[in-house]
Chains A and B, each alone.
Chain A
């Protein structure tokens, strides 16, 4: 519990947003740094990571200092990327990777019993990598020490995004909106909508999704299984979009705008459109820093499909250190590959789609996306068992 806690609003968001508005512009980045650092330490100590987690604030300090040496075309940018990936491997994937090599913890001589995740590591590392790559390409300004540190320690988005871009964040930091009334009206509405989505919809689905375990799946009547899975699809959308609403609304209280993350993804009529509207900031990050550098769509068709699969493999792995997440990512990679192949074969449609065709396309997208959630919310053996019961009885 972070963004739906009293501490978030009373200790951090409201005082930070008001202080930010009242201080002189030169001090505004330092307000973000002070509150962001305090936020990281407070919620590390109380929620995840403990004292060692809190000490990981030094990662932000180190990153800010090291990033001052980035130049266009400089190899130091790659060193920065490598060390960021190393942080991610050590904290998030160590036990998973060593477990693949050695097996269960009792057989694994490299097993790290005290492993913990620094708060938001999956997200702030992506912002580190974005900055290093764009500095190398010369597509983002350096900014000052305090401005970059404010960017990476901006607490409304630190923990779970939306994944920001420095070149769009910096103008908002240097010249935030002065429309107090409008910003607070929109920001507070967004936050309240997020909280209502979280408590009144997402959390209610837990009554169904709690049954997604081997024992309950084995006992359940077959017709109940798709209801439980659909409930998870509803839950994860309202849960994550609620968090994004709170983060975006919180940033608006500062007079700053951060990227949107969801735009009716379940209403989309194909898997490519789904991914352009689900976790939008992650989709754009993967597009700019994985898919396009691999060659994107400019390669021969078989290589494009490989690029899609590889990108979604990494997406799955990023979502969690587990084989089930990898399968989930590859499931979506396969769907995207099938969609692309079919679109190429069909060619440009000569007329707008029919109503029946649109409904069929939407239903196919909706069902295949929701089937994929089985791998997201259950471990691989349980997900496989679930799908066998669902389709095989």
Chain B
């Protein structure tokens, strides 16, 4: 009913996509070369900075640091 290998390769692509967005992967996945353009980088940074500014008012400690 389901082509499991196809589903697995889709998941793999999604993982690589998010890994590239998170900068833990150097190259974008196949078909997502647009992610390496300066325009996309600017949009992505803007979104991240916006999220940080929107949510940074909370009291915040890192769990593993404050043993």
Which residues of A line the B interface, CB within 8 A? 1-4, 48, 92, 117, 120, 122, 159-161, 185-190, 192-193, 195-196, 198-200, 203-204, 206, 235-236, 239-240, 242-243, 245, 248-249, 260, 264, 267, 320, 352, 354-355, 358
Contacts and interface: CB of A to CB of B under 8 A. Distances in A.
Nearest to A279: B64
30 contacts: A1-B61, A3-B65, A4-B56, A160-B62, A160-B64, A185-B41, A186-B23, A186-B26, A187-B23, A189-B23, A189-B44, A190-B22, A190-B24, A192-B49, A198-B60, A198-B62, A199-B55, A199-B60, A200-B51, A203-B58, A204-B55, A235-B63, A239-B63, A240-B62, A242-B62, A243-B64, A245-B24, A267-B15, A320-B67, A358-B4
Interface in B11-61: 15, 21-24, 26, 41, 44-45, 48-49, 51-52, 54-56, 58, 60-61
B65 A160 contact: yes
Contacts of A120: 65
Contacts of B66: 48
A3 to B, nearest CB: 7
Contact of B52 (A196, A206, A245): A196
B47 to A, nearest CB: 8
Nearest to B24: A260
A161 B58 CA distance: 24
Nearest to B11: A267
Contact of A199 (B22, B26, B51, B64): B51
Contacts of B24: 190, 245, 248, 260
Nearest to B64: A160
Given A2-B65, A3-B62, A196 B51 contact: yes
Contacts of B67: 92, 117, 122, 320
B23 A203 contact: no
Contacts of B48: 189, 192-193, 195-196
Q: Describe A's contact surface by its main secondary structure.
A: helix
> Closest 3 interchain pairs by CB?
A199-B55, A189-B23, A190-B23
B49 A200 contact: no
A240 B67 CA distance: 13
Contacts of B55: 199-200, 203-204
Interface of B: 2, 4, 7, 15, 21-24, 26, 41, 44-45, 48-49, 51-52, 54-56, 58, 60-67
Contacts of B54: 199-200
Nearest to B20: A189
B8 to A, nearest CB: 9
A236 to B, nearest CB: 6
A188 B45 contact: yes
A1 B60 contact: yes
Given A2-B65, A4-B62, A199 B52 contact: yes
Nearest to B47: A196
B63 A240 contact: yes
A2 B45 contact: no
Contacts of A196: 48, 51-52
A160 B45 CA distance: 25
B2 to A, nearest CB: 6
Contacts of B23: 186-187, 189-190, 193, 245, 249
B30 to A, nearest CB: 19
Given A3-B62, A122-B67, A245-B23, 10 more contacts: A2-B62, A3-B65, A192-B48, A195-B52, A196-B52, A199-B60, A203-B60, A236-B63, A239-B63, A358-B4
Nearest to A377: B63
Nearest to A4: B60
